[in-house]
Amino acid sequence: MKKSILKIIFFSIISSHIFISESLKAVIPYYYFPETKSLQKESLSIGKQAYQLLYFGQIKDSLNLAKLAIKINNTNETLWTILAETQIANKLYDDALVSLKNAQKINPKMGEIYFAKSTIYLKQSKIKKAKNSLLSGIKILPENFKAIFQLGNIYLMEKNYEKSIEEFDKAIKINKDYWQAINNKGLAYFELNKIDLSIISFKKAIYIEENAEPLLALASCLKNKDINKAIFFAKKALNKEPNYVDFDYRKEQLWGEKLQISTEKLFENPQLKKEILIAKTKIK
């Protein structure tokens, strides 16, 4: 908005002069015109509140506040990205892309914009566009290990396992404790029939974070090597996160065909019958 439009009028009758004649009384109010800097500061405060509401899961309220912030100040790229995040949370993906486009016009060198666009494209199953957006963002922010990890995930979706491992290694080089990238290296290795390398990756991931995903994946790797350990890890995984009992849930986590088949065979073991039944009653 231009400065003249940005100056929202707040009416405040602080004083008035009353002109009295025999037949007429007229009240002339005082008008307060806030400075542009004050409005911009207020808009950023509202944007921060919108982000906080989003963090606490109040997605509709956060969207309304983000819209208000933009109405006050539409020249700040951060406010547009906040609006986009609230729109994504409300599944308004096309609206979010428009918001990000506006942010990009203001600051084309803001890498986070490209990462956010990639997130939307992934939700819309537009894999090629998602990858291109990530590549553009990474050129601006080459040390963003989470974006590099996401690029590795896209190669995993495309079944380009060697390339996905390269990207995961880049992410791990930046953050050696990023267990998600270490775990997903294991997923890629399994599809390449490099089971021993998968085991190493899953064990490393578990050492950093004892998460259900590497626990169950490791169990699948061990089912033909050490069934007792496999059963132990599988029980632990299902107790931590029952959703991993579900084929489609594992698919969402980018488990490949070979690992899925191996896991289904593991679940046929009668020693896991009780845990599987309990997990199925808890899945969301």
Question: Global pTM?
Answer: 0.82
Per DSSP, the residues of 198-266 read: HHHHHHHHHHH---HHHHHHHHHHHTTT-HHHHHHHHHHHHHH-GGGGSHHHHHHTT--HHHHHHHHHH
pLDDT for residue 259:
98
Question: What is the rounded average pLDDT of the residues 120-138?
Answer: 96
pLDDT for residue 25:
40
What whole-number distance in Å separates Cα of residue 89 and Cα of residue 69? Answer: 17
As a CATH number, domain 1-107 is 1.25.40.10
DSSP three-state, residue 165: helix
As a CATH number, domain 177-284 is 1.25.40.10
- pLDDT class for 38, splitting at 50, 70, 90? confident
Q: Residue for token digits 């096309």?
A: 94
pLDDT for residue 22:
39
Identify whether the C-beta of residue 145 lies closer than 8 Å to the C-beta of residue 181.
Answer: yes
What whole-number distance in Å separates Cα of residue 77 and Cα of residue 260? Answer: 42
**CATH 1.25.40.10 in the chain, residues?**
1-107, 177-284
Question: What is the rounded average pLDDT of the residues 82-109?
Answer: 96
Per DSSP, the residues of 166-180 read: HHHHHHHHH-TT-HH
- pLDDT class for 36, splitting at 50, 70, 90? low
Per DSSP, the residues of 118-144 read: HHHHHHTT-HHHHHHHHHHHHHH-TT-
Least confident among 34-38, 54-58, 63-67, 178-182: 34-38
Q: Per-residue pLDDT for 27 more than 50? A: no
Q: Per-residue pLDDT for 47 more than 60? A: yes
Render pLDDT for 178-195 as a digit per residue (tens, 0 to 9).
999 999 999 999 999 999
Q: Which residues, 6+ apart, have CB-to-CB distance to 96 below 8 Å?
A: 83, 84, 85, 87, 88, 116, 120
Q: Per-residue pLDDT for 12 more than 70? A: no
pLDDT for residue 11:
34
